[in-house]
Structure 1
Amino acid sequence: MTESVTVSDLVEKTRLDVYYGQDYLNNRVITTSDISRPGLELTGYFNYYPAKRVQLLGITETSFAKGMTHENLLAVMRKMCQPETPAFVISTQLDPPEELITAADEAQIPILGTKLTTSRVLSNMTNYLEGQLAERQSLHGVLVDIYGIGVLITGDSGVGKSETALELVRRGHRLVADDRVEIYQQDEQTLVGAAPKILNHLLEIRGIGIIDVMNLFGAGAVRSEVDIDLIVNLQLWSKDAQFDRLGNGDQFQKIFDVEVPKISIPVKTGRNLAIIIESAAMNFRAKSMGYDATQTFDNNLRNLIQQNSEHDTKENS
């Protein structure tokens, strides 16, 4: 888990402008994804002031500040500029109050701005910070983007996960992570997977070693992160093992608070795992769009049984 993000990272990733305090960007860190919109603080109420949060001022806050006296506003701004306060952000291309500039300069806190509305910049900053500061879980596997479906390939070491990923890349799909997948929960229904920085774009193939997928296949063959939609578990074939043949044995794997659909595929000599996993991803997308081949088979079987039953009744009558 990333414990902090610098204000410099926030400026770069959410495209904020630096109004004042360029030299302070790397010295200020953000430890929470929550954003504060100071309202009661402008009235002098500081019994609960979330000083560790980025402070966002919009039209309402700046309009209220204009009605305050210089002395009162300067005193309030100095109270808001705590040692742990990372930055102030002004939305809608508004000019920051002079009192804020004075207080922020004294405390060496940067003042940032944007032309976006308060709601939009709040959403952008929250999404970025939640992704960076979220708790992470590392899983052994390979993550591939197949037709926009994030497929996490798991299985025992040596079962062929990386080789299968290489074939999928050759078929035009994109590698996200090999060997270790860093996963975090974006919201109640979404998991996001990415590669550890040390393994970015790299793939290990036994007998060859480490290969750089982006260098060999181009930038279109890799992706930095993707939502995890489906887990495919590669399992060595055994005559005693039970595998789903009709597609009606729904399995799930819980990661954090999210239940991810899971299928198990037997690994046996002669099976083209890349094509099978590609088809599994396409079938998952079809199910998501409302088409279920298993249900179609059940309906066809039901109709056939009914037709045979009616035929037998006619012959016996």
Structure 2
Amino acid sequence: MAPVRSCDHGSQFRLSDRRTLVYRGGDRVPPAPPTRGSARTGTELSRCTGRARRPHQADPPARPDEAKGIPHFVKTSITVRELLAARETALEVQRVTPAASLDGLVSDPEIFNPGLTLAGHAARLTAGRIQVFGETEMSYLDTLPPDQVRRRLEAVFARGVPAVFVSSGQDVQPPFLAAAEEAGIPVFRTPLATADFQQVLKPYLEDVLAPTTSVHGSLADVYGIGLLFTGPSGIGKSECVLGLVQRGHRLVADDLVLVSRRGNDVLMGKAHELQNFHMEIRGIGIIDIASMFGTRATRQRKRVEIIVDLQPWDDAQEYDRTGFGRESTTILGVGIPRLVIPLNPGKNLTVISEVIAMNQLLAYGGVDVPTRFNDGLRRAMNPRDSLIQDYE
């Protein structure tokens, strides 16, 4: 693939004094000023178009309330009560300490097995993690006198444990219950093995505790590629996605896209639960995509792979015409390719969007179209070098 150039002047969002999110369309990096000795002064001519370009101007000073990039918010914790409301049936839990509070906060998606912590090595025990006592931990506690069991568990429970789950349907001995009740820690028993328990619970915790941001735009699945359409209000994002749905592609979210980070380099987008695959089309109103086109035209969530930034055509702006100068923007610390599509009357956005998706599929397969085309031009302009290379 062609190298991706980071764009520090991409779409910007400003947080106003009333704490509302205001979109500000960003400008590209202005052209560099003429070098010393150059005959070009003042207005500079573009080599590609011959149109006059604006002279270089210094960027205005940043306002104190302005932040570059897309701000994000993180759901820092959930209560044990919320966790049970969402996963109690799947985890098949039985509450062993009915008097303990369920308001403890789970702030870490990792699930911890105490292990050596029960032997006194509690330095790496992190607060806010669910503790799972498997067969190894429970069998070890059975070898200790009751007073030692209480002391070991008190050392664990004092480190901010929100809840304890005992796996494999094991019995909970009275010293264990006494230490938990004294610390106010809820204890649950589940018939699931430790590994199965973690497979059910960890994806949920990673989902609800993932760093998340809201983006003004529309997200669609086009040939399996997640295209996030951004741009000023009224530019035609919803109409573009509606055209894609008509051609057999799938809507993920319109107008408001919730983007969360999975791991270090994956962004997943979905709609707000109240949107329910509805779209707003100016002049028509609210339409229901699922009712009109069926469930085949919708998707619950999709990975965000390319940002398609729709902008009004500007004669003074230079646009990428080769594919070598691709830009990127950063969402939640993850770089995403960003294509600026200038709009003027007669441009077929749905076809362009399909081409963007198919071009990305080619790139995933190792086909770098701009580089391949450029190499062909170089061979045509230097046939002697081509013959030497073929001979070698």
Q: Which bracket does the TM-score occupy, shorter chain normalised?
A: 0.7 to 0.9
How far does the alpha carbon of each residue in 1:223-266 deviate from its partner, in whole angstroms, 9 at most, with x for none?
A: 22222111111112233322212212121001121110111112
Q: Distance in 2 between matches of 1:46 and 1:292?
A: 52
Aligned mate of 2:186, from 85, 99, 109: 109
Counterpart CA distance in 1 for 2:284 and 2:300 is 24
Shift in Å at residue 166 of structure 1?
1.0
In the TM superposition, what is the alpha-carbon distance from 1:82 to its structure 2 partner?
6.3
Residue matched to 1:198: 274
Q: Does 1:95 align with 2:163?
A: no
Pairwise CA distance, 1:13: 4.8
Amino acid at match of 2:91: L
CA shift in 2, pair 1:46/1:288, >3 Å: closer
* Secondary structure of the structure 1 residue equivalent to 2:114: coil
Structure 2: stretches of 5+ with no match in the other structure? 1-73, 388-392
CA apart distance, 1:31: 2.8
CA distance in 2, matches of 1:80, 1:237: 63
Q: Name 1:185's counterpart in structure 2.
A: 261
Q: 1:192 to 1:114 in 2, by over 3 A?
A: farther
DSSP 3-state at the match of 2:229: strand
Contact 1:21/1:108 (<8 A) preserved: no
Question: Which residue is 1:296 aligned to?
Answer: 372
Q: CA deviation at 1:47?
A: 7.2
Are the equivalent residues in 2 in contact too, given 1:205–1:211 (CA < 8 A)? yes
Kindly provide the amino acid, as one letter, of the partner of residue 378 in structure 2: R
Contact 1:143 1:150 in 2 (8 A): yes
The Cα of 1:50 is off from its aligned counterpart by 3.9
Equivalent residue for 2:91?
16
In 2: Cα distance, 1:112 partner to 1:242 partner:
64
Deviation at 1:55, TM superposition (A): 0.5
Structure 1 counterpart of 2:110, one-letter code? D
Does structure 1 residue 163 correspond to structure 2 residue 239? yes
C-alpha contact 1:236 1:267 (8 A) present in aligned 2:
yes
Per the alignment, residue 131 of structure 2 pairs with 55
Answer yes or no: is 1:5 the counterpart of 2:82: no
**Corresponding letter in the other structure for 1:201:** F
| Aligned-partner SS, 2:322 | coil
State the match for 2:351 in structure 1. 275
The residue correspondences of 1:67-78 to structure 2 (distance < 5 A) are: 67-77=143-153
Q: Note if 1:154 corresponds to 2:230.
A: yes
How far apart are 1:84 and its partner, in Å?
6.0
Contact 2:217 2:256 in 1 (8 A): yes
Could you tell which deviates more after superposition, 247-256 or 211-220?
Answer: 211-220
CA spacing shift, 1:296–1:13, aligned 2, 3 Å: farther
Question: How far apart in 2 are the matches of 1:86 and 1:138?
Answer: 29
Equivalent AA in structure 2 for residue 20 of structure 1:
R
Further displaced range: 263-272 or 29-38:
29-38
Amino acid at match of 2:95: Y
Counterparts of 1:310 and 1:287 in 2: how far apart (Å)?
25
Report the Cα distance in structure 1 between the residues aligned to 2:249 and 2:171, rounded to whole angstroms. Answer: 47
Closer, same or farther: CA 112–263 of 1 in aligned 2, 3 Å: farther
Which of 187, 191, 201 does residue 125 from structure 1 map onto? 201
Higher helix proportion: 1
Secondary structure of the corresponding residue to residue 199 of structure 1: coil
Give the match's secondary structure for 1:239. coil
Give, in whole Å, the separation in 2 of the partners of 1:81 and 1:155: 50
- Tell me whether 295-304 or 70-79 shows the greater mean CA deviation: 70-79
Match of 2:308 among 215, 229, 232: 232
Query: Cα 1:51–1:263, aligned 2, differ >3 Å: closer, same or farther?
Result: closer
- Corresponding letter in the other structure for 2:305: D
Q: CA deviation at 1:161?
A: 0.1
Partner of 1:144: 220
> 1:275 aligns to what SS in structure 2?
helix
Name the CA distance, whole Å, in 2 between partners of 1:215 and 1:198. 16
* 8 Å contact kept, 1:104–1:111: no
Distance 1:162 1:231, change over 3 A: same
Residues 5 and 44 of structure 1: CA distance in aligned 2, closer, same or farther (over 3 Å)? same
Aligned residues of 2:269 and 2:304 also touching (Cα < 8 A): yes
1:315 equivalent in structure 2: none
Q: Higher relative CO (CA 8 A, sep ≥ 6), structure 1 or 2? A: 2
One-letter identity of the residue aligned with 1:55: Q
Paired amino acid for 1:251 = E
Write out per-residue CA displacement over residues 196-220 of structure 1, whole angstroms, 9 at most, x where no aligned residue: 2332322111011122222322223
Q: Secondary structure at the match of 1:61?
A: helix
CA distance in 2, matches of 1:148, 1:132: 25
Partner Cα distance (1:26, 1:220) in 2: 40
